[in-house]
Amino acid sequence: LYDGAFDIPCQFRYFECLPGGYSTLEYHEHTHMVMIFRGKGQVLLGDEIHDVEAGDFIEIPGKTIHQFRANKGDYIGFLCLVNQDRDKVKLLSPEEMDTLRSNPKIKEFLESC
């Protein structure tokens, strides 16, 4: 939606998941800010799962595993603000996935879609 201008070196992006869909399970070195723009669902943020809906604002610190899910019978659309100078997405290693799945709530969350 926006790729920086003048003295604002950031990108403003939009993502959307269909009902039952989800974003990539990932983490980054950089912090980013997310606002739920449309619908409702859940977010895995670190080792916690939160219900989210339109208007919610989520800070995702660097190195924090996260995933958005449209698992509440609705779309989930979200706006994301990031610095233009940022690292690339990091996917979880098999060892990191095993650690994540050792938490029963997270395992259920990951296997629900």
Q: What are the chain's domains?
A: 7-111 (2.60.120.10)
Q: Which of 39, 2, 3, 47 is nearest to 18 (CA)?
A: 39
User: Given a cut of 70, is residue 30 above it in pLDDT?
Assistant: yes
Span 45-97, pLDDT tens digits: 999 999 999 999 999 999 999 999 999 999 999 999 999 888 899 999 999 99
Measured CA angle at 44 (ends 99, 91), to 5 deg:
60
More confident residue, 112 or 47: 47
Q: Which residues are catalytic?
A: 80
Interatomic CA distance for residues 67 and 41, integer angstroms:
11
List residues bridging with 60 in a β-sheet. Answer: 32
Supply the pLDDT for residue 86.
Answer: 87
When pLDDT is averaged across residues 12-40 and rounded to a whole number, the result is 96
Q: Which residues contact 6 (CB under 8 A, 6 or more apart)?
A: none
| Total residue length of the chain | 113
Interatomic CA distance for residues 106 and 49, integer angstroms:
7
Please tell me the least confidently modeled range out of 1-15, 22-36, 48-62, 91-105: 1-15
User: Given a cut of 80, is residue 113 above it in pLDDT?
Assistant: no
